[in-house]
Amino acid sequence: MAITLFFCCAFLLLYSPLLYPLILWLLAVLFGRESRSDGSFTPQVSVLIPAYDEEAVIARKLENTLALDYPRERLEILVASESDDATDDIVRGFAGRGVRLLPSAVRRGKVANLGRAVPESRGEILLLTDANAMIRPEALRRIVRHFADPRIGSVSGRLTYVNPGGGAAGASERLYWRMEQIVKKASSRLFSLPGANGSVFAVRKSAYRPIAEDRGDDFEIPIRCVIDGLGSILEPDAISVEEAAGGFVQEYRRKVRIIHWMLRSALILLGEALGRRRWLLAFQLLSHKINRWAMPFWLLGLFAASVTLAGRGGFFRAAAVAQAAAYGASLLLLAIDRTIRPLRGLLGAPVYFLVVNAASFVGIVSCLARREVTWHKTR
């Protein structure tokens, strides 16, 4: 029993980061396709910016949005705000430049904010973007050109991080995203990108489907496009820039919230994908999302099996010692990061791995226990 547990957990741990990308890449080579993009295509676009106490960044965000390389008469900017600080007053100062404020005195969260904004929008294409994400001027055109192809329902941009403090959480997050791009590009070639980057992505308004307030918009909206038979793709040259989380505690809290929301969505969407016979999407959700979030459970199972089998010596004893040493070193490095100095470079990678898996464990448990997780900014 312990041997079976050991090898099953080892396989599941290696499957998502190693075997799954290879399978997806082969599928993309055999069945991949490109969108019929048109750089001259300039439909009416509504930029939707949900905001909660964003006084520190909202003016810069609006200046950034107004500077996008896109015909101004075909660009609508709406800020859906639930703020208690000076955010709303700052946004009102941009009214003469065509920015519309949709205020709310009740805090219901990002998805509810977007739900209020979509019916108020006039654009054929909806660009959803975070208040702290600065979009490069050419990004909107690069995204919109793909919607000239009626097969496309959603297009995701790409997030890059800056981290002036040099914190290891930011460096490790950037490394994670570089690895993710391999999978995302293959998924995009298959018109089946399972989720988008919340800092900058667009959806055809006719393909938008309202979602529950306790779920993730950037995850669920593109996947629903795929379920409805439309393509969800990546535009890697449409770039937004954010400051990465400066520390592991902030990163932990952010990951808990994200996984809590996305797991609930993933389970619902998996059922819908199977019901609509979207076999590729179901395969992606199981392989790249659900199995990856379940890694802390496979890690616990692998360690328990290794300890149980350590008495046999040899390989299993070495596996138990190696895991114990890795976890001990990660905890020590985390203590150093919090008490002596921030970790930099590769030293942060094992701590990031530990923090992300701890957040996955808590996020899954809180989701299954139906606990509420409120959004808090990490910046």
Question: Each residue of 24-33: pLDDT tens digit?
Answer: 999 999 999 9
| pLDDT reported for residue 252 | 82
* Residue where the block lists tokens 């809590």: 260
| HEC secondary structure over 125-169 | EEEEECCCCEECCCHHHHHHHHHHCCCEEEEEEEEEEECCCCCHH
Q: Are 168 and 351 in contact (CB under 8 A)?
A: yes
| pLDDT reported for residue 353 | 83
| pLDDT reported for residue 14 | 94
Q: Are 171 and 254 in contact (CB under 8 A)?
A: no
Provide the β-strand partners of residue 45.
75, 125
Strand stretches in 168-320, DSSP E: 200-204, 231-243
Q: How far from chain centre, in Å, is Cα 367?
A: 17
Give the residue ranges of the chain where pLDDT is below 50: 164-166, 378-379
Q: Which two tokens stand for residue 13?
A: 């741990």
Q: Which two tokens stand for residue 153?
A: 């329902």
Average pLDDT score over the chain? 89
Which one, of 310, 321, 291, 355, lies nearest residue 8 by Cα? 291
pTM of the entire predicted model = 0.88
Distance CA 285, CA 298 (A): 17
